[in-house]
A = this chain, B = another copy of it.
Amino acid sequence: MSGNTLGQNFRVTTFGESHGIALGAIIDGCPPGMELSEEDIQIELDRRKPGTSKHATARREDDKVQILSGVFEGKTTGTPIGLMIHNTDQRSKDYSKVAETFRPAHADYTYTQKYGIRDYRGGGRSSARETAMRVAAGAVAKKYLKERLGIEIKGYLSQLGPITVDHVSWPFDNDNEYFCPDKNKQEEIRQYMDNLLKQKDSVGAKISIIAKNVPVGLGEPVFDRLDADLAHALMSINAVKGVEIGDGFAVAAQRGTEHRDEMTPEGFVSNHAGGILGGISTGQDIVAHIALKPTSSIMTPGRSINTEGEAIEMVTKGRHDPCVGIRATPIAEAKVALVLMDHFMRNRAQNGDVIPPVMDLAHPET
């Protein structure tokens, strides 16, 4: 299959291009009986929406989501939930020049090679605009996980270029334009970004995600481990180039005595593993990190070629996020929600509703 479906039991399939008529998604398998309104979804879409800060793209995306099916008298019915967002701001003229060129670090070249044809308006299917539907679908999963299982999923900006946010203790506030939990760093980021715009450049970022109250036992060995499916879901977010679980790449330099999370009758004494052992959740916090490359569309000219293979100079006009990583926070939360929801259902298929934990070692908190 062609890759536009995520999940085995809670399945999300999406369609839509940046400047097409609409974006849409079908959620197949949502448990019945959950209250669900468009507002429940809109609230997450608004968190992802650009234009909330001067550093985000000025493109207005109304992103008003519509529920087309699967909800009756305010509740999910168990039948497929059709979601749609009309593209109200198509502005295809702005992108017409792109048709004959391959923008560096974009998917223009690869889509053309793969399919022999591409919708060149605003990146077409490869545009980050497509992630709106992932956030929409993720909102449904998030709601179920929170209401039925008490799971909370929250991400934050842990690095932007040279600026790092070292430690975050739960609960933390990511409700600001940078999803930055450290108020002291927000001004620093703002200045860095202002400077970046003047330099006509962009920068990468690192996002961290924590999922709390995940029950022990989610994840299917050996291929569809919880960490493997998280890696799949997170790496498929536009611009992501790296995924870590728990201590991530730091483990390459760790000793076994240092890394192993010892257990006592009171619980795990540490969480280097990021809440997953043998591909299965331990009940501790799930901790994941992702790295996102700098925005590819920048106003500093770069070398490229046109579709005739001739050398050209590329300059991206229009305003673009100088750091796409920032807005990835709600997207990453959505992807984690989709994976956990799917694994909750996969586990329930095989093991039934209630597995009384032999013992609960989740604590202490991360």
Contacts and interface: CB of A to CB of B under 8 A. Distances in A.
Given A102-B263, A117-B33, A244-B241, A300 B256 contact: yes
A357 B307 CA distance: 12
A117 B252 contact: no
A44 interface: no
A155 interface: no
**Residue among A13, A203, A248 with most chain B CB within 10 A:** A13
A172 to B, nearest CB: 20
Interface residues of A, number: 163
A222 B130 contact: yes
Interface string A155-170: 0000111100000000
A114 B325 contact: no
Contacts of A250: 291
A303 to B, nearest CB: 4
A270 to B, nearest CB: 10
Interface string A268-290: 01001110111111110000010
Interface stretch (A48-56, A74-82, A173-181, A182-190): A74-82
B241 A78 contact: no
B117 A72 contact: yes
A43 interface: no
Given A107-B280, A114-B351, A235-B228, A6 B223 contact: yes
Given A72-B124, A232-B229, A235-B245, A278 B106 contact: yes
A7 B349 CA distance: 13
A223 B325 contact: no
Given A222-B236, A262-B303, 13 more contacts: A2-B11, A16-B68, A21-B68, A33-B117, A79-B115, A110-B282, A112-B358, A223-B236, A228-B231, A247-B293, A259-B294, A262-B304, A349-B349
